[in-house]
Amino acid sequence: MTAPSALGRGLAWAQRGFVVWVLLGALWGYAWPGPAAQGKQWIPEALAAIMLGMGLTLTPKDLADVRVAGPALLAGVGLQYMIMPLSAWMVAKALGLTSALALGMIIVGACPGGTASNVVVFLARGDVALSVGMTALSTLLSPLFTPLWIWMLASTWLSIDPLPLFWTVTKVVLLPVLLGMAIRRLWHPAPWVVEGVLPLGAIMIIAWIVGVIVAANRNHLEVAGGILFGVALHNALGLGLGYLGAGMMPTTERQRRAISIEVGMQNSGLAVALAVAHFDPLVAVPGALFSVWHNVTGPLLASLWRERPK
């Protein structure tokens, strides 16, 4: 059964307003910090719901496409887990950030690819199968690489125990994705549910998470204002170096676009969840800012590439 055309158009319109929803979430958190901040304890569960939805969208065909991607997939994930953690560390050192903000940037850099990147790659006329494969593989590898990078790089500022981070990433990312994939083998929802309802639900949860973090850090936002430049630079390095790095390998233009976007767009929701669960609320500020920023630059880059030949 297909969705009525009006409903389908409405879902597509709501998804295109991703940036607006995120900004509205931030405004809600700033204007009503008391009620919004109460949701801080539920951020890990909210992220787990997003990951469950991601698992529900993965089909056997998607997994087959991942196997076909081969070298480009491995190269992309390798760039993802090299460029973003190391560039976060370099930016934090160069800007002389406080230990809390530096840790927050490194957590963002150590996370896997973001769930919105697949849509952005589609809009950029990139290789969507490669994008889906990179998101899935980097997510499945995140229980190992995310705590490892945080432990190695953030130790410059403070002592880090990677084992609690490993369990949190496994609990809120890996297990929900695997559960969603298992459910999808038994449940075959209509396309408008997979392409409309699930992505829109993820967008709304991300906007809510941003609002909660803004509320929890309302008194620190002026102090942390300078971190926005660091977040913008980090994102630009990911997009630029991802494209250049992919260009040094035997990849097509469509694959380079996909790798660039996948590297530059992080799972900032996971960064926020890790910061809230294990560190001071101020550590979550870079993740919250990254949530807004990369959902502006990603679609802008996609619109530029969309007008260029593949």
pLDDT of residue 93: 93
Query: Is residue 124 within 8 Å of residue 301, measured between CB atoms?
Result: yes
User: Considering the domain boundaries, does residue 65 fall inside one?
Assistant: yes
| Predicted confidence (pLDDT) at residue 192 exceeds the cutoff of 80 | no
Q: Are 224 and 287 in contact (CB under 8 A)?
A: no
- Is the CB of residue 281 less than 8 Å from the CB of residue 104? no
Domains: count for the chain: 1
Task: State yes or no: pLDDT of 297 exceeds 80.
Answer: yes
Lowest-confidence segment of 32-46, 117-131, 136-150 by average pLDDT = 117-131
Is position 255 within any domain?
A: yes
Q: Which domain holds residue 272?
A: 36-217+224-306
- Taking residues 209-229, report their average pLDDT: 74
CB 297 within 8 A of CB 264: yes
Predicted pLDDT of residue 232: 92
Output the pTM of the full model: 0.80
Classify residue 8: in a domain, yes or no.
no
Q: Is residue 134 included in any domain, yes or no?
A: yes
Instruction: Return the pLDDT at 307.
Output: 72
Ranges 64-78, 85-99, 145-159, 195-209, most confident: 85-99
Q: Which residues contact 152 (CB under 8 A, 6 or more apart)?
A: none
Residue 233 sits at the vertex; the CA angle it makes with 18 and 30, to the nearest 5 degrees, is 45
Query: What pLDDT does 5 receive?
Result: 66
Query: Is residue 28 a part of any domain in this protein?
Result: no
Q: What is the CATH number of the domain that holds 294?
A: 1.20.1530.20
Mean pLDDT on 221-248: 87
Mean per-residue pLDDT, 99-106: 92
Residue 9 lies in a domain: no
CB 39: neighbour CB atoms within 10 A?
Answer: 18
pLDDT band at 4 (very low <50, low <70, confident <90, very high): low
What average pLDDT does the segment 255-259 reach? 93
Q: Report which DSSP code applies to 87.
A: H
> CB within 8 A of 222, min separation 6: which ones?
none
Assess if residue 59 is contained within a domain.
yes
pLDDT tens readout for residues 22-73: 788 888 988 898 888 888 788 888 878 887 887 887 777 766 666 666 788 9
Q: Answer for the pair 29, 213: CB distance below 8 angstroms, yes or no.
A: yes
What is the per-residue pLDDT for 120? 81
* Look-up of token digits 């403070």: 158
Whether 153 is in a domain gets the answer: yes
